[in-house]
Structure 1
Amino acid sequence: MNRRLARIRAVQALYQVEMTGTEWKQALQASMEDEEEADDYLFDVIPGVLGTLLEIDEQIARQLEHWALERVGNVDRAVMRLAVYEMQYCDDIPVNVALNEAINTAKAFGGDEAGKFVNGVLSNLRNARELGAKNEYDSKDH
């Protein structure tokens, strides 16, 4: 399974967990096609997102302008949760790759407007993280 398809399956599973309360492995199995096999990526990111959900949601909520996280569509929320997890906890995935894949996934599920919304929120988050890292670096004695 390629990584793009794995991200789609992860978003579907995260969505199903949120909507039905299904255990994540059952949700993942339900999202898979008959011949597909889950790879290690899925067994890392899905429980990883769920295990850091409060932290991830707080970070997303801080970037929303005039919106509450609860008002964000469930699919867009699942896409952004996965992307934030990748951006922060997956050292092998460059931040810009996580961002671009999230935009493409949002477009696939919700069209161009969803892609623009996800882009705006995640770009703000990336920029805030980069600014925070720069400020931390600048404040250290060199």
Structure 2
Amino acid sequence: MKRHELRARAVQAVYQMDVGQVAAVEAVSHVLEGDESALLTGQREFVTRLVQGVGFHTDELDELITHHVTGWRLDRIAKVDLAVLRLALYELLFEAQTDVATIMDEAVELAKQYSTEESGRFINGALAKLLPVIKERRTNGE
């Protein structure tokens, strides 16, 4: 599977964790069910790392979203959009080996694919507002 598809599965798992109140491992197993033989070495681990990372850092991610994405309360953001935003923000903050532009482009595409065209613009705008924090943390190695 390509990274885009792996991120799509991670978004689905993050969504399940939020809506279905399931654990990260269970959510990952569910979204990868039937694809185990198609996964290359490290791909399952990549999805698991992203989903568990979002799960572990949800409070911190949500706090950043709340403080920097003005005019939007978490409960007003569509659940799919919130899953995409959390995943992208986690990856931007904690997966520094992937460049910022790639993660942002992927997030916008995932929002368009799984939500609406307007969601792509929302995700792009929200991440743009978070960029100063992201760049500071990446620079300081936090």
Q: TM-score, normalised by structure 2?
A: 0.85
Counting aligned pairs with the same residue, the percent is 32
Matched, 1:44 2:49: yes
For the aligned residues, what is the CA RMSD? 1.8
- What corresponds to 1:140 in structure 2? none
Whole-Å Cα distance in 1 between the matches of residues 33 and 101 of structure 2?
Answer: 29
Whole-Å Cα distance in 1 between the matches of residues 133 and 19 of structure 2?
Answer: 30
**Which of 69, 93, 104 is the equivalent residue of 1:88?**
93
Q: CA deviation at 1:39?
A: 2.1
Matched, 1:124 2:98: no
Matched, 1:61 2:66: yes
Check conservation: 2:24, 2:48, Cα contact below 8 A: no
Whole-Å Cα distance in 2 between the matches of residues 129 and 98 of structure 1?
Answer: 12
Whole-Å Cα distance in 1 between the matches of residues 114 and 126 of structure 2?
Answer: 17
Matched, 1:115 2:129: no
Structure 1 residues 129, 20: closer, same or farther in 2, change over 3 A? closer
Gaps of 5+ in 1: 137-142
Matched, 1:27 2:27: yes
- What corresponds to 2:3 in structure 1? 3
Q: Per the alignment, in what secondary structure is the counterpart of residue 70 of structure 2?
A: coil
- What corresponds to 1:76 in structure 2? 81
After superposition, residues 129-140 of structure 1 pair within 5 angstroms as: 129-130=134-135, 132=136
Q: CA deviation at 1:127?
A: 3.5
Letter in 1 for 2:69: L
Q: CA deviation at 1:128?
A: 4.4
Q: CA deviation at 1:57?
A: 0.6
- What corresponds to 1:139 in structure 2? none
**CA displacement, residues 96-132 of structure 1 (integer Å, 9 cap, x when unaligned):** 11111100000001121000000000011013444x5
Gaps of 5+ in 2: none
Q: Per the alignment, in what secondary structure is the counterpart of residue 39 of structure 1?
A: helix
Number of residues paired by the alignment?
Answer: 133
Letter in 1 for 2:99: P
Q: CA deviation at 1:65?
A: 2.2
Whole-Å Cα distance in 2 between the matches of residues 92 and 129 of structure 1?
Answer: 13
Check conservation: 2:84, 2:107, Cα contact below 8 A: yes
Q: Which has the larger radius of gyration?
A: 1
